[in-house]
Amino acid sequence: MEKIIRHTGVGVPLRRSNVDTDQIIPAVYLKRVTRTGFEDALFAAWRGDETFILNQPAYRSGSVLVAGSDFGTGSSREHAVWALKDYGFKVILSSRFADIFRGNSGKQGLLTGQLSQDDIELIWEVLENQPGTEVTVDLEQREVRCADIVAGMEVDDYTRWRLMEGLDDIGLTYRHIDAIDDYEASRPSHKPRTLA
């Protein structure tokens, strides 16, 4: 997993609250067997609308999504995080995230930073008035900078550490590989095996 310490990229203002995972990626895409290539599925229902923010050239290369409150509610599908990452988003900013979505994001290296709704509004204004403006998300300083706005960002310590170290869940468990080896060494031999 890629480490994130600081990220700078074009900010995309998504002025909608309660964006649920069905809107992030509709259920029809869950039938796929791949883990990558979900960029076309992201916000699929809205992508047909020319005026939708991601269809505007200035935002197309966006990597920081600045969303309304309660982002990621609904079903726990992990595909929502894959779709956002595949599209190119590195960071989602919102004043409130759904718990499961936040958990899934942290595990897969997508940074979810919590800002006050006031700061979100200020950043929206800048991004809408000057499309293509970059946003810097400083995980180390827990800070978001955009034009002359400097906003405090909330990220829990554990997730911040993992993202800065670039550790996914499996990478984290690999750190305890000795403990697993030890455990296996003392497992009773009567436990079943699937292979001869």
Chain positions contacting another protein, by CB under 8 A: 31, 33-36, 76, 78, 82, 104, 107-108, 168-170, 172-174, 176-177, 179-180, 183-184, 187-195
Q: Which is nearer to another protein, 61 or 76 (CB)?
A: 76
Q: Which is nearer to another protein, 32 or 47 (CB)?
A: 32
d(CA 35, CA 105): 14
What is the sign of the dihedral through the CA atoms of 120, 54, 51 and 97?
Answer: negative
Buried residues in 135-164 as b, exposed as e (16+ CB within 10 A): bbbbbeeeebbbbeeebebebeeebbebbe
CB of 118 to another protein, least distance (A): 33
Q: Radius of gyration (Cα) for the chain, nearest Å? A: 19
d(CA 97, CA 57): 27
CB of 113 to another protein, least distance (A): 21
CB of 187 to another protein, least distance (A): 8
Task: Please list the alpha-helical segments (H only) found in 14-168.
Answer: 21-24, 44-47, 79-87, 99-107, 117-129, 157-165
d(CA 25, CA 169): 23
Q: Which is nearer to another protein, 95 or 104 (CB)?
A: 104
Per the CB < 8 A criterion, the answer to whether 150 and 143 are in contact is yes
Q: Which is nearer to another protein, 28 or 148 (CB)?
A: 28
CB of 155 to another protein, least distance (A): 18
CB of 32 to another protein, least distance (A): 8
Q: Which is nearer to another protein, 128 or 182 (CB)?
A: 182
Residue 186, classed as helix, strand or coil, is: coil
